[in-house]
Amino acid sequence: MVSKEQKIRAILFYLSLFIFLAGLPFILSFALGYKFDTHTFKFTKTGLIVIKTQPQGAKVYLGKRLLNETTPLTINELLPGNYNLTLELGQHYPWSSEVRVEAGQVMRLEKIILFPLRPDIQQLNKSKISSFWVDKEKERIYYLNQEENIIYKSDLEGEHFAEIGSLPETLTPPTDWKISLDKEKLLCFNPHQIAVVYLEPRNKLPDMDQSFVFDYPNHRIIDVFWHSDSYHLILVTDTTIEVSEAKPGIPAVNLVNLNKRDISAFYDNGTDTLYFIDSQKATDGRFYDNVYKLELGTKLFHPRELIKPKPNE
């Protein structure tokens, strides 16, 4: 005869077995990344969101719910769908976005920058200026006071601010400027003038002025480039491509006559190659635009050396 105690044990055993078997699908589903969706009443494979911020330690809101962890963190077991995500960090602008979670996928948000409410801003110039350009390689900033045509320089922190040169008074306001590769000279130009200014002491060229201007009244200057020797200029106008020494009194050499009046050009200082677009007349009598490559070599000679007479002349 089965005792009452044995009946209770049997009931508890079968009840435990029933609970285990009934809960086994849930246990296996969670282990395999599934979650029961109360909207569809089905087990659905979940996804997750990985969040990293700079700086770290931001609070994370998933919808209106504040999570216990701060960034960096991973939010697991998310059913597929759209989630409103908000990140907050003291004294920084908040970040928020709607994030889409796909089944079995990882949504990575690893390049979030939280910018400070009060960025660190400091004035660098110590005198009135109208424009500037940065030489990262030499860790210098150059400034131009266009009203007085004065050029200044400083380090990247604005220290050692000093006047180093001036633009010629005959130069009208420039539209662009470029520093030579040796960092000793500045060229600036407008549609009809090019100015060259020496920024450092020039012991090698004592016969030259501190600055000078080339006038091109009959050409419209589109762009000017420094050759890699930091001594020649590659000039692109509305009608020609020319090369000139960065020295007054030397005539320029006309390399190419252009058909197109408004061209674009790119100069590669590493190979001294000019890429430009121009129009060419085809056999059908129509003009078509083409891209051309003009190789200027590793060394440019004095223009007079380019037109030497033949030995028997």
Q: What is the pLDDT of residues 62-89, one digit of tens each?
A: 999 999 999 999 998 888 999 999 999 9
Q: For the full predicted model, state whether its pTM sits above 0.75.
A: no
pLDDT score of 1 more than 80: no
At 308 the pLDDT is 41
Coil/strand/helix, residue 22: helix
At 5 the pLDDT is 67
> Which residue did the predictor score with more confidence, 231 or 2?
231
**What confidence category does residue 237 fall into, taking pLDDT thresholds of 50, 70 and 90?**
very high
At 175 the pLDDT is 81
pLDDT score of 227 more than 70: yes
- DSSP class of residue 127 equals S
Label residue 297 left, alpha or beta by phi (over 0 means left) and psi (-120 to 50 means alpha): left
Q: What is the mean pLDDT of residues 197-213?
A: 64
Percent of the chain with pLDDT over 70: 78
Cis amide bond preceding 55, omega within 30? yes
> Which residue did the predictor score with more confidence, 150 or 298?
150
At 306 the pLDDT is 41
Taking the C-alpha atoms of residue 76 and residue 261, their distance in angstroms, rounded to an integer, is 62
Q: What is the pLDDT of residues 174-198, one digit of tens each?
A: 888 888 888 888 888 999 999 898 8
At 23 the pLDDT is 57
Distance of CA 71 to the CA centre of its chain: 28
At 207 the pLDDT is 47
Which of these ranges, 19-33, 88-102, 112-126, 185-199, has the smallest mean pLDDT?
19-33
The alpha-helical segments, DSSP class H, found in the chain are 4-31
Percent of the chain with pLDDT over 90: 40
Q: What is the mean pLDDT of residues 90-100?
A: 95
At 293 the pLDDT is 93
At 209 the pLDDT is 54
Token pair for 161: 């601010």
Token pair for 110: 């690893």
Q: What is the mean pLDDT of residues 149-175?
A: 86
pLDDT score of 248 more than 50: yes
Alpha-carbon radius of gyration of the chain: 36
**What confidence category does residue 305 fall into, taking pLDDT thresholds of 50, 70 and 90?**
very low
Taking the C-alpha atoms of residue 84 and residue 283, their distance in angstroms, rounded to an integer, is 62
Task: Give me the sign of the Cα torsion angle 292, 305, 234, 173.
Answer: negative
pLDDT score of 303 more than 50: no
pLDDT score of 301 more than 60: no
Domains of the chain: 44-113 (2.60.40.1120), 124-166 (no CATH), 173-307 (2.130.10.10)
**What confidence category does residue 36 fall into, taking pLDDT thresholds of 50, 70 and 90?**
low
Taking the C-alpha atoms of residue 99 and residue 83, their distance in angstroms, rounded to an integer, is 5
Coil/strand/helix, residue 80: coil
At 60 the pLDDT is 96
Count CB atoms within 10 A of the CB of residue 305.
8
